[in-house]
Copies of this chain bind each other. A is one copy, B any other.
Amino acid sequence: MRSFQPKNPDYRSAATAVFTAQPAMRTLGISLVRLEPGEVDLAMAYGAQFTQQNGFVHAGIITAGLDNACGIAAFTLMPAGSDILTVEFKTNLLAPARGERFIFRAVVVKPGRTLTVCEARAYAGQEDAESLIATMTGTLMALPRRDQGNAVA
């Protein structure tokens, strides 16, 4: 894995602020547990209210975690004053999302001035074991933030 040099010296607080500003992450119980330039881990506990018909976490919820991990990973490498949006992503669901906890781990594959490509993996954890349950490749776009006076985004 290559290492990245962030353009924004305050990438850590900027990325944390964007993550924190998303009500959806609070509602889904997803938290930011690791943040490095171009790399992010999010964590989520199992919640019965987010399951599908067989008791596994819904693919859309897993995708929300993967997409956010990609977005925050990409955001760490964007210049100060950027906003970020997801252009597209593709998810492969490899195994049922069965577990007590879930990790969404994203890395930047190719940072760019306008577009950044990330890859992410979702792992389900049960007792001491972790297993790969889903992958994502996503394209993120940097935009100049509309309201620079706004605290977060």
* B54 & A153 in contact (Cβ 8 Å cutoff): yes
* A51 & B23 in contact (Cβ 8 Å cutoff): yes
A33 at interface, CB cutoff 8 A: no
Q: Give the docked Cα–Cα distance between A86 and B83 (Å).
A: 23
- Scan A101-112; emit 1 where CB is below 8 A from any B CB, else 0: 000000001100
Residues of B within 8 A of A94 (CB): 109-110, 117
A76 at interface, CB cutoff 8 A: no
Q: Which of A23, A63, A141, A152 has the most CB of B within 10 A?
A: A63
Residues of B within 8 A of A139 (CB): 87-88, 92, 139
Taking the closest CB of chain B, its distance from the CB of A90, in whole angstroms, is 4
Residues of B within 8 A of A21 (CB): 52-53
Q: Which of B27, B59, B61, B114 contacts A114 (CB 8 A)?
A: B114
Q: Which residue of B lies closest to A65 (CB)?
A: B60
